[in-house]
Structure 1
Amino acid sequence: MNDQLKAIFVKAKLNFAILAIILLIAILGKLTNPELSNAIFLSADQLVSELYLVFIAITLGAFVPNFKLVAFGSVGVFVAAVALVELNVFHYFTIEYLFAVLIVVLGFASIANLYRHYREYGL
């Protein structure tokens, strides 16, 4: 394997891990609870048309130098939002909707960060 590709894989292992986890969630969701999985991924598909969310995710992935902050910060905001939903602070959100937002943000941020690593090597 090319040394540049090895370097990209080493630098972007968190990106690949996040994308693999999203794929694993989709597969396990289809096997265990297809109705809930379909609802979550349908919401995520509809969220992609919300361009401001996609632009924010791409900007976070492409321009924040430490991608761990983006990944763990997104999960932290998700956990805080779920806690606020459970405390009835947010009445119009559901946990499934927030999970769909998390999937969209982490997916697009991971791809944008992966592309940034790719462009560094001029491949």
Structure 2
Amino acid sequence: MNDQLKTMLLKAKLNFAILGSILIIAVLGKFINPELTNSIFVTADQLVSDLYIVFIAITLGAFVPNFKLVAFGSIATFIGATILIQIGVFTYLTTEYVFSVLIVVLGFASIANLYRHYREFGL
């Protein structure tokens, strides 16, 4: 395998892990709880048409040098929002909606970060 491709794959392993996790959630969710999974991904699909979320995710993925901060920060924000929903601070949000936002943000940020790695090598 080409050395540049090996280097790119090593740098982007977190991106592939995130995208693979989204795929695994979708597949397993269809077997475990198809109604919930369907509602989460329908909401995520609707969120994509809210372009400001997509622009924020792409900006985070493309311009933040340490992608681990983006990934773990997004997950920590999701956990914090979920705790606040369960406590009753956010009465107008649901955990499913926040999870849909997490899927959209991590997915688009991962793809943008992959593209950034791709552009570095000029492949």
TM-score range, shorter chain: over 0.9
1:1-123 pair list within 5 angstroms: 1-123=1-123
Aligned length: 123
* Overall identity of the aligned pairs, in %: 73
Per-residue Cα deviation, 1:18-62 (whole angstroms, up to 9, x for no partner): 000000000000011000000000000000001000000000000
TM-score, normalisation: structure 2: 0.99
The amino acid that maps onto 1:84 is: L
The gaps in structure 2 that reach 5 residues or longer are none
The gaps in structure 1 that reach 5 residues or longer are none
Write the distance in 1 (CA, Å) between the matches of 2:92 and 2:45.
Answer: 19
Runs of 4+ that moved beyond 2 A: none
The amino acid that maps onto 1:118 is: Y
Write the distance in 1 (CA, Å) between the matches of 2:111 and 2:79.
Answer: 22
Write the distance in 2 (CA, Å) between the matches of 1:69 and 1:57.
Answer: 13
| CA RMSD in angstroms, aligned pairs only | 0.5
The amino acid that maps onto 1:64 is: V
CA shift for structure 1 position 87: 1.1
